[in-house]
Amino acid sequence: MALPAIGVAIRVAAAVARRAVAGYAKKALARAAVRRIAHATRTGTQFKLETELDWHDKAVTKKVNKHMRRQTIAAAKHLQKSIVRNINVPVVHSGSQVIRSMPGEYPRKESGALRKSIKINTVTNKSGTTSRVGTDSPYASILEFDLDRSFIRRTAAEERKTVERIMSKKMK
């Protein structure tokens, strides 16, 4: 799927990621394999004791990245559902008159094509996970920018706190 023509991107911000994994590093350190190798090599009257700590850095990093990918996708799905819910109000047919949305309102559903076109695209690379929520509908940008019937940006602004809460959910 191509990237949406218009939409919002949800990225794992460093501060949010730090909050989400707060305390996890301590748990990982506590659970890290601590091996005590007691060398019974006796040199005179001395014993040599070595303590080796395996951090399992790759395993911890993999688990953190997996958690943040899961949270990024969950936040994107929440945003997608919220956008669809906001544009799901049907137009009103009053006799021969059709009452569509007014400026400042969410666009109303007439055919459902706009609602069906709201998609999520998630990309994971070395720099992290990015989920984009948007549409490639040809008239979406007209509604969003020209007719003052913003539905993507407005929903993203309204759902910001919820998205932040989803993104900063602590790891188990």
Q: Is residue 172 part of a domain?
A: no
Rounded to an integer, what distance in angstroms lies between the CA atom of residue 114 and that of residue 116?
5
pLDDT tens-digit map of 142-166:
998 899 999 999 999 899 999 889 9
User: What one-letter code names the amino acid at 96?
Assistant: S
The pTM is what? 0.72
Residue 98 falls within a domain, yes or no?
A: yes
Give the residue numbers spanning the domain of 162: 6-167
pLDDT category, 167, cuts 50, 70, 90? confident
Q: Which residue has the higher pLDDT, 165 or 126?
A: 165
Is the residue at 78 inside a domain? yes
Domain count, the chain: 1
Is 130 inside a domain boundary? yes
In a domain, 143, yes or no: yes
pLDDT tens, residue by residue, 90-107: 999 888 899 889 999 999
Helix or strand run (H / E) with residue 6: strand 6-11
101: in domain: yes
Residue 1, domain member (yes or no): no
